[in-house]
Each structure stands twice: as C-alpha cells, then as structure tokens.
Amino acid sequence: MTRHQLSARIRSTGAYLCVGLDSEISKIPAHLHSYDDPVFEFNRQIIDATKDHCVAYKINTAFYEAGGVKGWETMEKTVNYIPDTHFKIADAKRGDIGNTSSQYAKAFFETLSFDAITVAPYMGEDSVRPFLEYKDKWTIVLGLTSNSGSKDFELQQAGDGLLYEKVLTTVAGWGTPDNLMFVIGATQAESFERVRKLTPDHFYLVPGVGAQGGSLKDISSKAMNGDVGLLVNASRAVIFASSGEDFAEAAGKAARD
C-alpha cells in the first residue's frame, strides 16, 4: 500500500484507528472454543465488526507464534481475511544481520501478505535495509516506545540529545516518508512535539492508547501533520471490550467510539 493510498483511506474513512489483533486464546470468549480454529473465528468476527471504523490492523505475531504451526496457520488465515482496503501490519519487531533480515522480509512481505513490519533498529542500517528494499511496503522502526523500560536506553543521553532522537534522525535517512514509519508510544505524549520536529513528514504507529492510558486527544493535537501522519493502535480496549457472546458487537462500538 502506498502513502497516497493510506492517506486517501484515512480521509475517506474519517479515522486513523489501527485495531491490534493481540488475540490471546485464554482471553477469547468461551463459546468460541468449540470451533476448529477459535482464534481465527474470534478474529474474523472482530474484523467484520470493526472494518468500517478503522484503516489498519496490527497482528502481534507473538500471540500466534506461541501456538506453533497451528498458530502460524491462524495468522495466515487472518491476514488473508483482512480486506485489501486496510493496512496490514506484522508487529514482529524483527532485525538481524542482512541475510537474516532478508528472510524475515520475505516471510512477511511475500509468504504472508503484510503491508508493513515493525523492526528494531539497534543492529544498524544493514539490519533494516532489506525491509526497505520492497516496493510499496513499509518498515516501522521502534523509535520511542510506551513501555516503562524505555528509560533504560531510549531516554538516555547520547551526545547532544537522547538516544531515541539519534535513532529517529539517523534512521530517517535510510528510507523516505513513503516507506518508513516510527513506533512512538502514546504514553510519551510530552515528547510528541519534539518527535514531530525531528521527523515532520513521517507516519507514526502509536500504541498505548486505551488500556495503557495514552490520550488520543493529546497525541492528535501534538503530532498530526498534513497527511494526518498517525495510525493510533488500540488492542485490548477494542477486541476485549466484552468477554461474552456480544464480543464482536462490543468491539465494533469501541472502535466506532
């Protein structure tokens, strides 16, 4: 999906919500366990209920990898079920030496039909470059994350600024705003004005709204650019809005809200 297509989808929908399919089998409604593939059935109904209120879906691969071969099959069925009108993100946080990253890129961009993958930048440019070489695919690099451990490295002083600032300005030169995004956590709202000054044209994938307490209003006011430039992710707050048989209806309402 190109930047133009993504921006057009945001404007036509009037939303920049990304629904996170962190579909942990122990948390899905009990009545779904009678299905051959309970997680896929859960995802299918969530997608049907939310697709009119969002522009993207993010599959956290850990929740599928934990299930072994069956989990991978569920992930493949899920990504294939997501409409092509929607941006499909593999939240895999990959990043390794070049030939290994090439195989990760092939797995998620060719074998699986994702539009984007999250990538860790700390092994340097050669670990990120293989993802950037795919046409009309996106690399979403960890910038400033929403977890408490971000203070251990990302918020440490590095030269004239903080380490995450150096990551943003360095990585921005490896790609373009047409194929490169950054993960910026919603719980770091006070930093968004600084982040936007450093990377004025890039899109951000913003986790941490909802269950983690990030403010949608604060993020939108501080970080929106001319193309909106935001994909605000909500996972638990949407997909687990209800644990009963009305789970899909509740998820649709949460997404709409």
Active site residues: 93
Classify residue 87 by its DSSP letter.
E
How many other CB atoms sit within 10 Å of the CB of residue 251? 25
* Separation of alpha carbons 91 and 98, rounded Å: 19
* Separation of alpha carbons 233 and 16, rounded Å: 9
Tell me the two tokens of residue 61.
Answer: 């691969």
Contact at 8 Å (CB) between 38 and 77?
no
Tell me the two tokens of residue 228.
Answer: 């909106």
Q: Which residues pair with 17 in a beta bridge?
A: 232
* Separation of alpha carbons 63 and 130, rounded Å: 25
* Separation of alpha carbons 141 and 111, rounded Å: 21
Q: Which value, to the nearest 10 degrees, does the dihedral of the CA atoms of residues 160, 165, 171, 176 take?
A: -120
